[in-house]
Amino acid sequence: MTTRAEKIADAAHRVSDGGVPLGKLIREGKNPMVARVNYEYAAVIRAVANYAAPDDAFEPSNYLPVAIERQRIRHELLTIAKELETL
């Protein structure tokens, strides 16, 4: 497995290893098992966004159209991740 793939898988494992407290999910009226899976998906999507469309603050682009498209993709991915966490 490549380093990138390992880091993406690690993001999901961190969630399943206790990154989301069960008590909080229950108080919010969420099914803990479903919510954890959604949080894992969100973590994976965030990790992919960090590799596929890094933030300009960390990896600036000298070509404006590429930078704009990269940030558009990043925004879409992070929006999906946030939506999964709110289900």
Distance between CA atoms of residues 13 and 56, nearest Å: 27
The angle that helices 3-14 and 32-52 make with each other, rounded to 10 degrees, is 150
Please give the pLDDT value at position 37: 84
Please give the pLDDT value at position 17: 67
**Token reading at 22:** 């069960």
Once rounded to an integer, what is the mean pLDDT over residues 39-59?
Answer: 83
Once rounded to an integer, what is the mean pLDDT over residues 54-67?
Answer: 76
Please give the pLDDT value at position 77: 92
Residue 81 domain boundaries: 3-86
Contact 77, 43 (CB under 8 A): no
Contact 84, 37 (CB under 8 A): no
List pLDDT tens digits, range 1-43.
788 778 778 877 777 666 667 777 788 888 888 888 888 889 8
User: Residues in the chain, how many?
Assistant: 87
**Total domains present in the chain:** 1
